[in-house]
Amino acid sequence: MYAVIFKAVIKQLDEQYEDMLVELRALSVNKYGCVDIQSVTEGENEVTISYWNSLDDIKLWKQDERHLLAQRLGMEKWYKSYQIQIVEILKDYKNET
């Protein structure tokens, strides 16, 4: 399994951002096989981690037309800066009570 870590410094989020976020989350799960997505925002910092079964799925997602539009809008309007890291998860365990 792989994780894509998206870290950004927020410039200005708007209603278009919120609409795009909902659309892209559904698209990544339903069309490209994203397993889970978790996001947190603290002040002007945003961190989103998405989980994927394969690098091929991540590559296809990166090339999606709506995702490319969101990337462009992110650079133009929503974020001051961002960083993306792709990591392989070597071990995954949890303790539930």
Tens-place pLDDT, residues 6-57: 999 999 999 999 999 999 999 999 999 999 999 999 999 999 999 999 999 9
Query: How many whole angstroms separate alpha carbon 7 and alpha carbon 39?
Result: 10
Length of the chain: 97
Mean pLDDT, rounded, for 69-91: 95
pTM score above 0.75: yes
Instruction: Determine contact, residues 21/37, Cβ cutoff 8 Å.
Output: no
Give the other-Cβ count within 10 Å of 39's Cβ. Answer: 12
- Fold of the CATH domain 2-88: Alpha-Beta Plaits (3.30.70)
Query: How many whole angstroms separate alpha carbon 1 and alpha carbon 4?
Result: 10
Query: How many whole angstroms separate alpha carbon 3 and alpha carbon 87?
Result: 5
Instruction: Kindly indicate the confidence band of residue 88, based on its pLDDT and cuts at 50, 70 and 90.
Output: very high
pLDDT at 94 (0 to 100): 84
